[in-house]
């Protein structure tokens, strides 16, 4: 994992073909199975995976309240290779200020397996990177576990 003043990156190897990895990233049913930031449940997924298309993820806390909403717009879509999009998240309780980031996801074929690379940009300072860094590590581990079943 790399982290500079305004950017972080993470990557993980997977034993599945890149097409399966890409599908798990863009399919609502798959996303709901593996993605649980801060142990929240992904309850709503709206995806229009095309350049200029938008997305929305809504997560609920254990008490059933909306805990986190992430929205954005796709700037680049290369199926099974690369997604680049805005990454705007809001926590309704207002504990943390809303943030606007740029996210690039690269899906790389690696023999019979694949590699996923995440780059998140537009952080204000190192302190704001840490929770995201931990979140991506958890998410990629959870995705790996899901795809290993």
Q: Read off the CATH number of the domain in which 107 is found.
A: 3.30.530.20
Per DSSP bridges, beta strands 54-60 and 99-110 are: unpaired
Token digits of residue 44: 């709503």
What is the pLDDT at residue 128? 67
Token digits of residue 137: 């590590």
Taking the alpha carbons of 149, 55, 118, 81 in that order, is the dihedral positive or negative?
A: positive
Structural domain count of the chain: 1
What is the pLDDT at residue 101? 86
What is the pLDDT at residue 3? 43
State how far the Cα of 105 lies from the Cα of 107, in Å rounded to an integer.
7
Token digits of residue 47: 């995806």
Three-class secondary structure assignment of 104-138: EEEEEEECCEEEEEEEEECCCCHHHHHHHHHHHHH
What is the pLDDT at residue 98? 59
What is the pLDDT at residue 1? 46
What is the pLDDT at residue 21? 98
Residues contacting 68, CB < 8 A, separation 6+:
37, 38, 40, 57, 58, 59, 89, 90, 91, 92
Q: What is the pLDDT along the chain (149 residues), one digit of tens a residue?
A: 444 457 899 999 999 999 999 999 999 999 999 999 888 999 999 999 999 999 999 999 999 999 889 999 999 999 999 999 999 888 776 555 657 889 999 999 999 999 999 999 887 666 667 777 888 999 999 999 999 98
Q: For residue 73, what are the domain limits?
A: 2-147
Match 């926590």 to its residue by tokens. 91
State how far the Cα of 58 lies from the Cα of 68, in Å rounded to an integer.
6
State how far the Cα of 85 lies from the Cα of 122, in Å rounded to an integer.
12
């Amino acid at each position: 994992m790399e982290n500079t003043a305004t950017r972080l990156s993470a990557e993980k190897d997977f034993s599945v073909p890149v097409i399966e990895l890409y599908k798990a990233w863009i399919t609502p049913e798959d996303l709901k199975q593996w993605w649980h930031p801060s142990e929240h449940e992904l309850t709503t997924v709206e995806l229009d995976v095309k350049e200029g298309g938008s997305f929305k993820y809504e997560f609920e806390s254990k008490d059933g309240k909306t805990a986190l909403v992430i929205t954005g717009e796709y700037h680049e879509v290369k199926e099974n290779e690369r997604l680049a999009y805005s990454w705007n998240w809001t926590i309704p309780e207002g504990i943390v200020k809303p943030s606007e980031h740029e996210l690039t996801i690269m899906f790389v074929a690696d023999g019979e397996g694949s590699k996923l690379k995440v780059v998140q940009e537009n952080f204000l300072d190192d302190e704001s990177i840490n929770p995201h860094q931990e979140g991506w590590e958890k998410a990629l581990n959870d995705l790996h576990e899901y795809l290993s079943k």
